[in-house]
Amino acid sequence: MEKQANFNVLMLPWLGHGHISPYLELAKKLSTKNFTISKLSEEFKESIKLVELHLPSLPELPPNYHTTNGLPSHLMPTLKEAFNKSCPNFREILKDLKPDLLIYDLLQPWAPVAAWLYNIPAVEFISSSVTMASLVYHSLKSPQGKKFPFESSIFYRGYESAMEDKLFVHDKDSTSFLDCIDRSTKIVLVKGSEEIEGKYIDYISTMTGKRVVPVGHLVQEPSLMMMVRIVKFPKGENVSLENVLPKGFQNRVGDRGKFVTGWAPQTKILTHPNTCGIVSHCGWNSVLEAMKFGLPIIAMPMHLDQPVNARLIEELGVGIEVLRDSSGNLRRETIARVNYQVVGGIDGEQVKKNAKEMKKKIEMTEEEEFDDHVVEELVQLCLMKNNKIWQIASTIKYYAFSCFGFSQI
């Protein structure tokens, strides 16, 4: 590809570590391709700049709870409300920075609408699994009774029915999810690859009528620090590690294990030669990290997209899920059995082989995923900003939404 002009891109991730991290990794990649990134997160280097977004002050949401880090679950709706109310401030940021492109996260349908006012193309970047996104989009958009084409492998178990009902009900969040995809300009960026989720990428592309462009796995490079994290407690809760572990457990483990509370550099742990598997809650970032480093996964999903990711892990043959009892409870006997299966059992040999093969596939395609094709897609979007037809169309769309009372504009 010929040397291109420098374009300015503004990124707006959701206020959670699991979202900010892949946005930062994407920013790093873009910054090597003549894109200057402005991002609502920590400053990384000269070509990635920090922009501060002011959330409105709400009496029930102190400033130390302006991210999901340590946020009590009952305050999540309040944080979403505050984030939505930051739209006027965000609109001023767009006016001042005049970026060539906006890349926004899920549940922010007001972001692309605000961008239209200034004729800025806006693209959604989905940092969760495409498998989950395709299942949710199908469930919300397809005619009632139409089955998900991959339901034999991707499904919610009986004890997850309440979780499933909450995800697929037509409420404010589900409407926002659909609107974010539908308002994305021509393409949707996704974290992942054809190797892992090819058929789900194709399916959601067919449903949405948009090109779904994988940008790679965006796994952080290992840090220089070595530690292990076992548990993280919410802020403000008076809970210690000793209180939640069986009496004398740490002494019995001795130097055979290490206990650390808080965040830990998972990629450093996964690359250690003595690490032979990972017990994962099946967050998408953790799943991709395990696959990249060729480790079998002991899947223990908790909520949201995690059960779907666990089913995908089993479909790919790179892990085994710890099943719960009929009441949805985890049993220690089951956890122990699956750990043994993966690490030392006969079943585990095939899983470990599959995990190593997946690592090789990822290594072969990693650089190709963020190739000239991805860059060219983004360049063409950036060039649209100065296109007269696009300017007229985006202005009409913005004022159409304003007239129909889009509340967050």
The residues assigned a catalytic role are 19, 105
Q: In what order do the strands lie in the sheet with 278-280?
A: 278-280, 297-299, 319-321
CA–CA gap between residue 343 and residue 334 (Å, rounded):
14
- What residue type is assigned to position 343 of the chain? V
CA–CA gap between residue 7 and residue 378 (Å, rounded):
9
**Which residues have CB under 8 Å from 356's CB, separation 6+?**
294
- Signed CA dihedral, 341, 346, 347, 353: sign only: positive
Structure tokens at 349: 């040999």
Nearest to 203 by CA among 123, 282, 146: 146
Per the CB < 8 A criterion, the answer to whether 177 and 107 are in contact is yes
Structure tokens at 239: 């809970």
CA–CA gap between residue 311 and residue 74 (Å, rounded):
28
Beta-carbon-side half-sphere exposure of residue 207 (alpha carbons within 13 Å) = 24
CA–CA gap between residue 210 and residue 208 (Å, rounded):
5
- Signed CA dihedral, 370, 373, 378, 383: sign only: positive
